[in-house]
């Protein structure tokens, strides 16, 4: 079951140039800034790929979307690729409604894990 802690971020490095942030919990007004800060610190020189695993996200509100936009822009601004995986059906619906799927490039990054959740 989902526990009560709002947002947990787990950082992993499959290789030297790749960062994966696995999120679980709620990405909302209270936690969005925490994620932006965390991602900012993770984007050290030499990182060429930032990936967010969102399969554990329970809530993503408009502040959460804003954080995702911010991070994608920051990553691309630093020349790194940005990707989101593990998009739940609910989040996919939100991304579709807001048109963010094309802005964040998730339409092109549709992967199997996202499909597994729907």
Partner 1 sequence: MTGIRNVSTPPPTHLLHAVLDATAEAVLLCDDQGTILLANAAAHRLLPGLLTIREITDDPDSFDRELHGRPLRGRRQPVDDAHDVWTVHDCTDETARLAAIAEERERTAFLVEASRRLSASLHRGRCVRTTVELAAAHLADAAVVVLPPARHRVEWVRAVTGSRFETGVMKERDAESVPGLSEALAGFPPVPSRWLDQTQVPASLLPAGFGEIGALLVTPLPGNGVPAGALILARRAPGAFAESEELQARIFAARAGGAISAAVLYQDQVETTAILQADLLPPDLPHIDGLELAGAYRPAKDAARIGGDFYDAYPRTPSLSPSGTDAETMVVLGDVVGKGPKAAVLAGKVRQTLRALRLLEGRPEPLLRVLNQALMDPRDRTRFVTMVLASMVRDGDGWRVTAASGGHPPPLILRARGGVEAVPARGTLIGVTGPIRVETATVRLGPGDLLLLYSDGLFEARGGVGGRDAYGEDRLADSLASCRDMPAAAVVERLEQLVSDWINGAGHDDIAMLAVRVPPRISENGYHPASFRRAR
In angstroms, give the least distance from the CB of 50 to partner 1. Answer: 16
Answer yes or no whether residue 2 interacts with partner 1 by CB under 8 A. yes
Q: Which residues contact 87 (CB under 8 A, 6 or more apart)?
A: 54, 55, 95, 106, 114, 117
Of 12 and 29, which CB lies nearer to partner 1 in the complex structure? Answer: 29
Provide DSSP, 12-67. E-SSTTEEEEEEEEEESTTTHHHHHHHHHHH--TT--EEEEEEEEEEEE-HHHHHH
Q: How many residues bind partner 1 (CB under 8 A)?
A: 23
Of 77 and 79, which CB lies nearer to partner 1 in the complex structure? Answer: 77
Strands 18-27, 81-85: parallel, antiparallel or unpaired by DSSP? Answer: unpaired
Answer yes or no whether residue 78 interacts with partner 1 by CB under 8 A. no
Answer yes or no whether residue 61 interacts with partner 1 by CB under 8 A. yes
Stretch touching partner 1 by CB under 8 A, among 37-45, 55-63, 78-86, 107-115:
55-63
Query: Contact, 91 vs 58, CB < 8 A?
Result: no
Site for partner 1 in 10-49 (CB under 8 A): 29
Answer yes or no whether residue 107 interacts with partner 1 by CB under 8 A. no
């Amino acid at each position: 079951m989902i526990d009560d802690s709002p947002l947990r971020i787990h950082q992993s490095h499959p290789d030297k140039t790749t960062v994966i942030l696995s999120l679980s919990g709620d990405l909302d007004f209270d936690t969005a800034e925490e994620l932006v800060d965390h991602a900012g610190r993770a984007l050290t020189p030499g990182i060429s790929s930032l990936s967010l695993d969102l399969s554990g996200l329970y809530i993503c509100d408009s502040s959460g979307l804003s954080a995702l936009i911010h991070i994608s822009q920051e990553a691309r601004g630093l020349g790194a690729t940005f990707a989101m995986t593990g998009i739940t059906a609910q989040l996919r619906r939100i991304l579709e409604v807001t048109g963010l799927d094309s802005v964040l490039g998730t339409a092109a990054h549709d992967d199997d894990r996202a499909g597994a959740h729907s």
